[in-house]
Amino acid sequence: MASLELLYLTQQEVLDVGITLADAIDIVEGALREHGAGQVENPPKPGVHPLPGAFIHAMPAFLKRPGQVGLKWVSGFFDNPRRGIPSISGLIVLNDAQTGLPIAVMDCAYITALRTAAASGVAARHLARKGSAVVAIVGAGLQGRYNLLTLREVLPDLREARAFDIHAETLERFVSDMSGMLPFAVVPAGDAEQAMRGADLVVTATGVVDKPIFKADWVQPGTLVLPIHSQGWEARLLHEADKFVVDDWAQFSGSMTGPGGFYDELPQPYAELGEIVVGRKPGRQSPDERIVDFNYGLAIHDVAMASEVLARAERMGLGTRLAQMDGTLPFA
């Protein structure tokens, strides 16, 4: 039997292929278009929970028309920064859609960060009010940063970001760093309510929240709410929103209700985001609509992003070839 190899890419090599936020938004929008057209397999992600508040998820996906298939094995251990290691870590495995053989393994952290924020960018393209100028960022960590940069890519009229974090040093660094990167004001808020009231977009990018702390009354007519982590909002906002949108209803509803779920009951969604992207349902139809879009995270985004990373890495000669099979099994 011929020797079979796969390509291994480190986190630095994933970075070195040069995928930008603008690239990520287009890749994620393309994957959502396939989702809206029913041309994907994206089963709800199963997981295990070795520690309270921690998870390890398996996220398989198949995009039929581009023939992209793979799996992300990702963990979220949110006490890790105290140990000097990242909260989110894991690997993506890509397979050949014709043979099933693994063809690449790569670090998933940067891909996860980019695609998570890119989903917010796609949502804002279709659901934000025209001329949106003020964004509230609650949670000034990695996703707060990436989301603000991504929204800048798709909302040219942004002129102010209000930020809040319960950790004063984190908030101070966020304001300082982002003020140096963006051509508009980035200002600290005294609390989450102060950041949200009057904002055109609200991004909640906090860690795990085990009770509803964000109030529907803080969200004005016309606002787009983008919860990066799906907990924290009182259920009334979901039921009273003019449009309640999710990325994948089966996955979201299965995770958010029932034993261990955050919500007792969910309203039926207006649409999945892919249905809006593909044109099956309209996005924003009025400047006064309050819209909530929960993007719980789709494996198709990871597989589509990783496929582009692999294509660029092969053109650039990056990565390490690893022998996978070089003989037959005993008794085969």
Residues identified as active-site: 72
Cα 52-227-18 angle, rounded to 5 deg: 95
Cβ atoms within 10 Å, residue 247: 25
Cα 154-165-76 angle, rounded to 5 deg: 80
Structure tokens at 332: 């085969």
- Alpha-carbon distance of 230 to 100, in angstroms, equals 33
Three-state secondary-structure class, residue 224: strand
Q: Which of 213, 165, 219, 206 is nearest to 188 (CA)?
A: 165
Structure tokens at 47: 């997981």
**Look-up: residue for tokens 């919860």?**
227
Three-state secondary-structure class, residue 71: strand
- Alpha-carbon distance of 250 to 73, in angstroms, equals 20
